[in-house]
Amino acid sequence: MAKTRKSAAKNSKTDSEDTIVSARPKSLAVAAGGIRTAGDFADFMSTLMTDVVDGRVSPATCNAACNAGGKLLKIVEIQMRQETRGKRKGSVPELLLVRRPG
C-alpha cells in the first residue's frame, strides 16, 4: 500500500465504490489455472485476500468471488454426505471441487 492515491490512479481503474483497483491481480493467475481441489481453493483465497489488501482487487469483486467460493464449498459438503452414505466406517471419501474427466 505504498502507492499514493494519485500515483495508483494512473495505472488503475475505479469501481462503483470509488475504490482504486490496480492492474494485474495475482489471484487471476491462480483462478486461470482452475480451482479443482481444496489446495487450489486455499491458494486462490489467499492470493485474493492479498490482492484486496494491496488494492489490486475491489472489495465488491472480492465479495463476488467469496460468494462463488462458498457455493463451491457447499458442493463439496454435499459430495461428502453422498459419498459417506453406504460406505463402511473409516473410509476416506474423495473430496474434489471438480471431478476429473474419465
Q: Tell me the C-alpha distance between 79 and 67, whole Å.
A: 19
This prediction's pTM:
0.63
Asked if residue 99 belongs to a domain, the reply is no
SS3 35: coil
Is 90 inside a domain boundary? no
pLDDT > 90? residue 26: yes
Tabulate helix, strand, coil % of the chain (nearest 5): 55, 5, 40
Q: Provide the grid cell at 86.
A: 453406504
Q: How confident is the model over 16-31, as a mean pLDDT?
A: 75
Has residue 27 been placed in a domain?
yes
- Does some domain include residue 19? yes
Flag whether 91 is in a domain. Answer: no
How far, in Å, CA of 101 to CA of 53, rounded? 36
Task: Determine the Cα angle at 72 with ends 63 and 33, to 5°.
Answer: 85
The boundaries of the domain holding residue 56 are 5-84
C-alpha cell read off for 28? 487471476
> In the predicted model, is pLDDT for residue 17 greater than 80?
no
How many domains does the chain contain in total? 1
